[in-house]
A = this chain, B = another copy of it.
Amino acid sequence: MHGPDRPGLVARVSGWIFERGGNILHADQHSDTEAGIFFQRVEWASAPGGAAADAAVFRAFAESLGMTARVASSTRRPRVAVLVSKFDHCFHDLILRGKAGELAGDIVAIVSNHSDLEAATRSYGLPFHLIPVTAATKPADEARQLALLRQLDVELIVLARYMQVLSADFLDKAGRPVINIHHSFLPAFAGGKPYHQAAARGVKLIGATAHYATAVLDDGPIIQQDVARVTHRHSVEDLIRKGRDLEKTVLAQAVRWHLENRVLVYGNKTVVFD
């Protein structure tokens, strides 16, 4: 939940949970003192049989405090669609982490504009959806993607090195968070071929950035970033190889946090309760 900061919010929320027989497992809060906004993430065990009722009533309670709240049950696993093109490192990484139990959600489909990863997808026992995208037919292609995502009832869309820019219209109509991995330390090297840009500028660190996609390219709220050291000895190919490792871990971390409801977006920034 988040909203205008004022005294007593922590006491009111923890008191509400205690009175209903719940037990707080984790609680984390943050006040943006400049903006006067209070953020809180509370994880609690409801009294036996009380989870459904708690969820229904908490939102109203939070509203009575002037807060906007989102309530999620940890037993419900969000459905996730992963969009890919030809690069397969984030694709394998996310699926294997899912199988290893690292993600609090289920990857229910792979959607791609190329058929390259169809066999690998099927060997994982996952459905593969091919929707080619061309510049000329993009609006229609995106309409097909949207229809599919709606039909799959996904709650999170992950761009795992998906090489098409999604239109503002798509993002608007999707109405679902879209997490993208950009292969640079944003805001440096936004746009195409960031490793080539990095090599040309002679930086000593390369990075990767996971962020929510917004209508402005590579400008959405940043969830996670990391960097790796490079030297003059590294060719652009080396940067790409090292970058793959960054992209995998940064994207996976962002997806994991999102699925555990640890990421709050406000303005163009995120609060990550890790």
A4 → B minimal CB distance (Å): 14
A22 → B minimal CB distance (Å): 8
A179 → B minimal CB distance (Å): 14
CA A104 to CA B159, docked complex, whole Å: 30
A74 contacts chain B at the CB level, 8 A cutoff: no
In the complex, per-residue mask of A15-40: 1 if CB is within 8 Å of any chain B CB, else 0: 10110001111111111110000010
A88 → B minimal CB distance (Å): 8
CA A189 to CA B127, docked complex, whole Å: 43
Interface residues of A in 201-260 (CB under 8 A from B): 201-205, 207, 221-227, 231-233, 235, 241, 244-245, 249
Specify which chain B residues have a CB less than 8 angstroms from the CB of A51 in the assembled complex.
none
CA A26 to CA B30, docked complex, whole Å: 7
CA A188 to CA B245, docked complex, whole Å: 22
Decide: A23 and B7 in contact? CB cutoff 8 A. yes
A146 → B minimal CB distance (Å): 28
CA A89 to CA B29, docked complex, whole Å: 33
CA A187 to CA B22, docked complex, whole Å: 40
A151 contacts chain B at the CB level, 8 A cutoff: no
Specify which chain B residues have a CB less than 8 angstroms from the CB of A31 in the assembled complex.
25
Decide: B233 and A102 in contact? CB cutoff 8 A. no
Specify which chain B residues have a CB less than 8 angstroms from the CB of A272 in the assembled complex.
204, 231-232
A92 contacts chain B at the CB level, 8 A cutoff: yes
Specify which chain B residues have a CB less than 8 angstroms from the CB of A17 in the assembled complex.
11
A65 contacts chain B at the CB level, 8 A cutoff: no
A161 → B minimal CB distance (Å): 13
A185 contacts chain B at the CB level, 8 A cutoff: yes
Decide: A270 and B202 in contact? CB cutoff 8 A. yes
Q: List 28 A-B contacts (CB under 8 A).
A: A7-B18, A7-B22, A7-B24, A11-B11, A11-B17, A11-B18, A14-B15, A26-B29, A30-B233, A32-B232, A33-B235, A88-B96, A123-B123, A185-B188, A185-B203, A185-B227, A186-B188, A187-B188, A187-B203, A201-B222, A202-B267, A204-B223, A204-B224, A204-B225, A227-B227, A231-B274, A232-B270, A245-B249
